[in-house]
Chains A and B, each alone.
Chain A
Amino acid sequence: MATTNEIKERIAAFARELAEELGEADDSNALCWLDAIETQAVEIGDAVSVELLKQKAQKQPVIDEASTCPKCGKLGRYQGLRERKLTSRRGPVPISEPEYYCPACRRDFFPDDQRNRR
């Protein structure tokens, strides 16, 4: 599990800070007080998850000027970083990956590079 005891303690400290800062939850549109604080907690949890995903996924990838086309085996040239927005379990997450173009196949490809596993 990623949530080791140390991380759990840090999360608890962060949650204590947030709880003080946020004060009373607004329950005017909620079913009850508990529903209001549950909604607030889930929103914060989702935001933390998405942020963590973004930061891990947006680390600058290793880029080569050319890469081998998976179809024909010839060298394709680097086109730039392609931005994708993926829907995750906790919301949209942007991901960027190096895009190459193979002049022989006349199509883009996105090579698997072990160095880009973050």
Chain B
Amino acid sequence: MTSAIGVEVSCPFTPAMLCKVTHAGSRSPSFTQAIEDLELLAETKVSRECMQRWTKRVGGECVERDEALAVAYQSLSLPERQKSPTDQVPQVACVMMDGGRIQVRDRHETTRSKKGYWKESMAGCCLSMVSQEHTEDPSPAIPKTFVDPERIRDLAREIKGVSTAIEDAEEAEEESYDDRIGRPEVLVRSVVATCQGPETVGRRLVAEAHSRGFHAARRKAFVADGSATNWGVHRKHFSHYTPILDFTHAICYVYTAAMAGCATAAGWRDYLQWAQWLWEGSIDELIEAVAARSQTLGAPPEGDENSPAALVAKTLGYLKNQRTRMDYQKYRKLGLPITSSHIESTIKQLNRRMKGTEKFWDQGAEPLLALAAAYLSQTNRLVRFWKDRRNQLQPVRQYNTAA
């Protein structure tokens, strides 16, 4: 009767209740909170042990499903990989990826690790988008939000941890960056997340992109910050996607270099020019100007990473390394995205469940990440998962192997 009941022999919930338990366990910030939420909203009491065990178990099955999809993709021939398995091919296919951080601790460990427990988790999202192509740049002037002294200072502080005082700079009018003309509109997002490293996230992300017909799209973009890990995944799995460096990260580097080692007013004047060059994709001029500043400041003093000379030298290296991914004018003409804001916000949503100074994960991290990613996806992944699950139940008890 297992398939008629719809849950395995050892499950203490009806199928509908199991969905609610899993939802609460993976969407609430903690299992304790999940139990409270379930009691208040669904008027059902569930023990912490049950909540934890079943959320992780269902999450583990999501991991298996993601892995199976990745293995199936790897077994395809190259021409098959380029074809869309669905009728729908997005107008613009965009893949974004980034890293997050969670604390992972071996529960059997007796002494505290000196290095701490923070490990990198990785997430990627596949975004189908619509946008128009243009013969001319639809937005040639840099949005005011990037030339607002307070806004750019806050942005640089948030992204690069750099603080610079600007008292004399002119005040800019408030304008939302989201209002930029020609900005592509997101239709459907799906998310992949893992704490098993870049190799795993790359395999799962490319399989997810393929399953949604992304490879067959005419306009394709891969957007990420400057991390070498991201671009390693791009080289291996998405080399036919237009590589785009997240504009927000790039402009923060430019701002830091412009304000380093000179008076605030002069630095701000330079920044306005450099920011416009970056926006236009005039990277040669920008690199030349930053190189001149670097020469004026001389070699960075050893051991001081925050000296003006070191900050400018770092920016110069960054711009040289990323120069092929910063043709922003061309990307705007093609109607492609130029910031990785969607994956940044996805990471924040995942962090809500996964990250916290008081949260330590062991084997539960991977299943919970997979579940959280599935809930953030708008592709009915979980609806299909619950339907398929019923048919895969074993009519026998599953025994856990003793540790």
Residues of A within 8 A of B (CB): 42, 61, 70-71, 84-89, 91, 93, 95, 97-98, 107-113, 116-118
Please determine whether B395 and A89 come into contact, CB atoms closer than 8 angstroms: no
A97 CA / B1 CA spacing, docked (Å): 7
B292 at the interface (CB under 8 A from A): no
Please determine whether B14 and A110 come into contact, CB atoms closer than 8 angstroms: no
Known A-B contacts A71-B396, A107-B397, A108-B396; A87 and B5 likewise in contact (beta carbons under 8 Å): no
Please determine whether B44 and A89 come into contact, CB atoms closer than 8 angstroms: yes
Closest residue of chain B to A53, judged by CB? B14
Please determine whether A89 and B17 come into contact, CB atoms closer than 8 angstroms: yes
Chain A residues whose CB sits within 8 angstroms of the CB of B1 once the complex forms: 61, 97-98, 110-113, 116
Chain B residues whose CB sits within 8 angstroms of the CB of A109 once the complex forms: 395-396
List 25 A-B residue pairs with CB atoms under 8 Å apart, sorted by A's residue number.
A61-B1, A70-B394, A70-B395, A70-B396, A85-B12, A86-B5, A86-B12, A86-B13, A87-B14, A87-B17, A88-B14, A88-B16, A88-B17, A89-B14, A89-B17, A89-B20, A89-B42, A91-B44, A95-B5, A97-B1, A98-B1, A110-B396, A112-B2, A117-B4, A118-B4
Identify B4's interface contact among A85, A87, A112, CB under 8 A.
A112
A84 CA / B7 CA spacing, docked (Å): 12
A70 CA / B245 CA spacing, docked (Å): 54
Known A87-B17, A87-B46, A112-B3; 16 more pairs at CB < 8 Å? A84-B12, A86-B7, A87-B13, A87-B14, A88-B13, A89-B16, A89-B44, A95-B5, A109-B396, A110-B2, A110-B395, A111-B1, A112-B4, A112-B395, A117-B4, A118-B4
Determine which residue in A87, A107, A108 has the highest number of CB atoms from chain B within 10 A of its CB, and name it. Answer: A87
Closest residue of chain A to B1, judged by CB? A97
> How far is the CB of A92 from the nearest CB of chain B, in Å?
9
A117 CA / B4 CA spacing, docked (Å): 6
Closest residue of chain B to A117, judged by CB? B4
Closest residue of chain B to A97, judged by CB? B1
A84 CA / B394 CA spacing, docked (Å): 17
A112 CA / B11 CA spacing, docked (Å): 16
B382 at the interface (CB under 8 A from A): no
B9 at the interface (CB under 8 A from A): yes
Chain B residues whose CB sits within 8 angstroms of the CB of A95 once the complex forms: 5
Determine which residue in B9, B11, B16 has the highest number of CB atoms from chain A within 10 A of its CB, and name it. Answer: B9
Determine which residue in B43, B396, B397 has the highest number of CB atoms from chain A within 10 A of its CB, and name it. Answer: B396
Please determine whether B5 and A97 come into contact, CB atoms closer than 8 angstroms: yes
> How far is the CB of A66 from the nearest CB of chain B, in Å?
15
Known A-B contacts A88-B16, A89-B16, A89-B20; A116 and B396 likewise in contact (beta carbons under 8 Å): no
> How far is the CB of B330 from the nearest CB of chain A, in Å?
54
Please determine whether B14 and A93 come into contact, CB atoms closer than 8 angstroms: yes
> How far is the CB of B12 from the nearest CB of chain A, in Å?
6
A86 CA / B9 CA spacing, docked (Å): 11
Chain A residues whose CB sits within 8 angstroms of the CB of B9 once the complex forms: 110
A4 CA / B6 CA spacing, docked (Å): 26
Closest residue of chain B to A57, judged by CB? B5
Q: Contact flags (1/0) for B371-403 with A, using CB distance below 8 Å?
A: 000000000000000000000001111000000
A37 CA / B45 CA spacing, docked (Å): 23
Please determine whether A116 and B44 come into contact, CB atoms closer than 8 angstroms: no
> How far is the CB of B35 from the nearest CB of chain A, in Å?
13
Q: Contact flags (1/0) for B1-37 with A, using CB distance below 8 Å?
A: 1111101010111101100100000000000000000
A98 CA / B42 CA spacing, docked (Å): 31
A18 CA / B9 CA spacing, docked (Å): 38
Chain A residues whose CB sits within 8 angstroms of the CB of B46 once the complex forms: 87
Chain B residues whose CB sits within 8 angstroms of the CB of A116 once the complex forms: 1, 4
Chain B residues whose CB sits within 8 angstroms of the CB of A89 once the complex forms: 14, 16-17, 20, 42, 44
